[in-house]
Amino acid sequence: MTDHVVEALPGIFRLIDLVGVLLNGVLGGIIARRKRFDLVGFAILAITSALGGGMLRDIMLQAGPPVALTDPLYLATALLGAVVAFLLPLGGRWWTRLYVVGDALVLGCWAATGATKALSEGLGLLPAVLLGVMTAVGGGMIRDVVVGDVPTIFGGNTLYATSAVFASLAAIGLADVGQNTVGMLVAIIVGAGLSIAARWRGWRLPDA
Amino acid sequence: MTDHVVEALPGIFRLIDLVGVLLNGVLGGIIARRKRFDLVGFAILAITSALGGGMLRDIMLQAGPPVALTDPLYLATALLGAVVAFLLPLGGRWWTRLYVVGDALVLGCWAATGATKALSEGLGLLPAVLLGVMTAVGGGMIRDVVVGDVPTIFGGNTLYATSAVFASLAAIGLADVGQNTVGMLVAIIVGAGLSIAARWRGWRLPDA
Amino acid sequence: MTDHVVEALPGIFRLIDLVGVLLNGVLGGIIARRKRFDLVGFAILAITSALGGGMLRDIMLQAGPPVALTDPLYLATALLGAVVAFLLPLGGRWWTRLYVVGDALVLGCWAATGATKALSEGLGLLPAVLLGVMTAVGGGMIRDVVVGDVPTIFGGNTLYATSAVFASLAAIGLADVGQNTVGMLVAIIVGAGLSIAARWRGWRLPDA
């Protein structure tokens, strides 16, 4: 890669991260609308969907308050998603396409963030993969439980958590040789590629 | 205010706090009775209802074990609530009136505690409001999820979390000018006034 | 006791601990099969069942990341349980007998671990009992909530959490006189004895 591209990457990762927060905030709001909740419900489901995974990771790592609370943009962006979902009747075909692509991109980004943060706190391979997956899928899982649904990642979906496992492994492998930035890029490509391919081809994990 | 009143305020706040723990412990027990749980269920629902919000706040803040575990009176008071609810068939009109007034008072007290604790740990305005609201309504929310109900604060109630938002904002504004004690007092008045007025007049948030 | 037995005890406790992780990992997998989840669901339910209680305890104690993440054997053993449950159609009479005995042994072991860890972090008697019980029954409780069931420990079972209360008290009493190893042994005997006797005789707590 040319130097210019490499220099631009951290900014691009930050953008993908915040777009992920916004899209998952909107998704929380859409679910709040479907359940006929009021503005408080919109706000709580937006925060849970968008930031719950990272909160769970940071609570586990015990290295200070969750980034979701210390980075001033996170809460504001998640709440913006709630407001957007409150004002606009999203949820149709165009929203779904936008969400699927955006969420696929952020899946690997969040998995890589969680996995490498776990490594830098001194945890081993298996816990790092767990925290990578938790960062990527934890928010949706908590949201599903809170509204009384069985989490979709438990079965019947198309390789969602599995994509996060492979993205985490890619990030861990490249962080291990000191290539964190490249690792993040590869994790995003692996996560997005695998989750979109699985959705397109209908790939599923076996059940027992 | 006269000096005597100002000196008495911290003791009064402590009393409101513990009355809140007791009343919400009883409420947890009443729900345990309705669900036909045994003594263990009474105890867990009392602890969750009465102390869950503060536990969630302290887990997020990561400044040591939750006050619910380090202050010797909290757990004992919550369990006393469970025992009261186990022995007495509460839940009638007089209980409801007592609970509504007591819970309205504690709403602002807990919101102010959570919001100012978040500020003193260095968090910003939005996270402080979130932790204020979480302290006030988090216990009931966790309890509802744990027994398989959709949390009532998500919709259909009368400005419960909204009152906690305004109480948090009042406490934050006055803490910002160094008036923590006055801030707590104003938060209690705002929280109780707004939540009782909303219940009395049937005010609700719009849904989408 | 002879010196040889005393020297062997820590190794035996470690074995009981890991057998408990394995059995509860398998149990999580059996529930995942019953709910028709895929491999991801098996893994998450195994981790939740086997390690959720200790995670909850360590998050409360805030003395570093959960042992479930820092001890390399825990996650691997829980996931091994998931794989076993995925490959073998367990759940029949022999499995139930094995699980009941194994889980009864680990109940007191986990309660003692949680209670004494709470004491060593400076907490009092009541919080120590709470964290002992939480370590023993918290994983099953979280798993039940996550899959949308009302936790069985809330009622209708046979003194499960109650056995953990008495095992915690035994461990606390003996830790108080400096006998941690004997305390763990007595806690295991008390927990296993009471929970198996209760199951055999159908003992239950009163409901209200």
Instruction: Please answer yes or no on whether B154 and A35 come within 8 Å at the CB atom.
Output: yes
C177: DSSP letter: T
Instruction: Please answer yes or no on whether C146 and A145 come within 8 Å at the CB atom.
Output: yes
Cα distances from C83 to residues A207, C78, C94, in angstroms, run 12, 9, 19
Residues in chain A with CB shorter than 8 Å from the CB of B207 are 33, 36-39
- Measure CB to CB from residue C148 to each of A118, A148, A208 and give the nearest one: A148
Residues in chain A with CB shorter than 8 Å from the CB of B156 are 38
Q: How confident is the model at residue A204 (pLDDT cuts 50, 70, 90)?
A: confident
Quick one: three-class SS letters along chain A? CCHHHHHHHHHHHHHHHHHHHHHHHHHHHHHHHHCCCEHHHHHHHHHHHHHHHHHHHHHHHCCCCCHHHHCHHHHHHHHHHHHHHHHCCCCCHHHHHHHHHHHHHHHHHHHHHHHHHHHHCCCCHHHHHHHHHHHHHHHHHHHHHHCCCCCHHHCCCCCHHHHHHHHHHHHHHHHHCCCHHHHHHHHHHHHHHHHHHHHHHCCCCCEC
The whole-number pLDDT of residue C128 equals 98
Q: How confident is the model at residue A206 (pLDDT cuts 50, 70, 90)?
A: confident
Residues in chain C with CB shorter than 8 Å from the CB of B69 are 60, 118, 123, 127, 130-131
Instruction: Please answer yes or no on whether B148 and C149 come within 8 Å at the CB atom.
Output: yes
**Contact (Cβ atoms closer than 8 angstroms) between residue A167 and residue A136:** yes
A156 to chain C, closest Cα gap in Å: 7
- Measure CB to CB from residue A69 to each of B123, B149, B151 and give the nearest one: B123
Strands (E) located in B30-161: none
Lowest mean pLDDT among A90-94, B150-154, C36-40: A90-94
CA contacts within 13 A on the Cβ side of C66: 26
The answer, yes or no, to whether residue C151 has pLDDT greater than 60, is: yes
The residue written with tokens 């209680």 in the block is C53
B170 to chain C, closest Cα gap in Å: 30
DSSP-derived 3-state class of residue B141:
helix
Q: What is the pLDDT of residues C1-12, one digit of tens each?
A: 567 777 888 899
Mean pLDDT on B83-99: 89
The whole-number pLDDT of residue B1 equals 56
- Measure CB to CB from residue C155 to each of B41, B79, B85 and give the nearest one: B41
Nearest CA in chain C to B83: C208
**Among residues C165, C183, C164, C166, which one has the least CA distance to residue C174?**
C183
- Measure CB to CB from residue A155 to each of C38, C64, C148 and give the nearest one: C38
Cα B29 from Cα B81, distance rounded (Å):
7
Mean pLDDT on B14-25: 95
The whole-number pLDDT of residue C1 equals 56
A141 to chain C, closest Cα gap in Å: 9
Please enumerate residues of B whose Cβ is less than 8 A from a Cβ of A: 59-62, 118, 121, 123-124, 126-127, 130-131, 141, 145, 148-151, 153-156, 160-162, 204-208
Q: What is the pLDDT of residues B124-136, one digit of tens each?
A: 999 999 999 999 9
Residue A164 has which token pair?
A: 């996060």
Nearest CA in chain C to A141: C146
Cα A188 from Cα A169, distance rounded (Å):
12
Torsion of CA C163, C166, C172, C177, to 10 degrees: -130
Q: CB neighbours (10 Å) of residue C196?
A: 18
Amino acid A25 reads: G
Q: How confident is the model at residue C208 (pLDDT cuts 50, 70, 90)?
A: confident
Residue C92 has which token pair?
A: 């029949």
Q: How confident is the model at residue B93 (pLDDT cuts 50, 70, 90)?
A: confident
**Contact (Cβ atoms closer than 8 angstroms) between residue A25 and residue A77:** yes
Kindly provide the ipTM of the predicted complex, given to two decimals. Answer: 0.93
Q: How many CB pairs under 8 A join A and C?
A: 82
The whole-number pLDDT of residue A90 equals 84
Q: What is the pLDDT of residues A6-17, one digit of tens each?
A: 788 889 999 999
**Among residues C190, C157, C194, C160, which one has the least CA distance to residue C173?**
C190
Q: At what angle do helices A3-34 and A180-201 cross, to 10 degrees?
A: 50
Cα A38 from Cα A54, distance rounded (Å):
25
Q: How confident is the model at residue C194 (pLDDT cuts 50, 70, 90)?
A: very high
Cα distances from B208 to residues A10, A35, B49, C33, C122, in angstroms, run 37, 10, 29, 38, 49
Instruction: Please answer yes or no on whether A42 and B126 come within 8 Å at the CB atom.
Output: no
Q: At what angle do helices A125-146 and B125-146 cross, to 10 degrees?
A: 80
- Measure CB to CB from residue C39 to each of A124, A151, A206 and give the nearest one: A206
Q: How confident is the model at residue A1 (pLDDT cuts 50, 70, 90)?
A: low
**Contact (Cβ atoms closer than 8 angstroms) between residue C185 and residue C10:** no
The residue written with tokens 């305390």 in the block is C183
**Among residues C132, C154, C147, which one has the least CA distance to residue C48?**
C147
Amino acid B201 reads: R
Torsion of CA B52, B55, B57, B63, to 10 degrees: 180
Cα B201 from Cα A191, distance rounded (Å):
51
Q: What is the pLDDT of residues C43-98, one digit of tens each?
A: 999 999 999 999 999 999 999 999 999 998 999 999 999 999 999 988 788 898 89
Residue A171 has which token pair?
A: 């990030």
**Contact (Cβ atoms closer than 8 angstroms) between residue A192 and residue A104:** yes
Please enumerate residues of B whose Cβ is less than 8 A from a Cβ of C: 29, 32-33, 35-42, 44-45, 47, 55, 59, 62, 64-66, 69-70, 72, 75-76, 79, 85-87, 89, 145-148
**Contact (Cβ atoms closer than 8 angstroms) between residue C68 and residue C21:** no
Residues 6+ apart with CB under 8 A from A180: A116, A171, A174
Residues in chain A with CB shorter than 8 Å from the CB of C42 are 208
Cα C158 from Cα A121, distance rounded (Å):
41
- Measure CB to CB from residue C123 to each of B29, B41, B65 and give the nearest one: B65
Residues in chain B with CB shorter than 8 Å from the CB of C161 are 40
Cα B105 from Cα B93, distance rounded (Å):
19
The answer, yes or no, to whether residue A201 has pLDDT greater than 80, is: yes
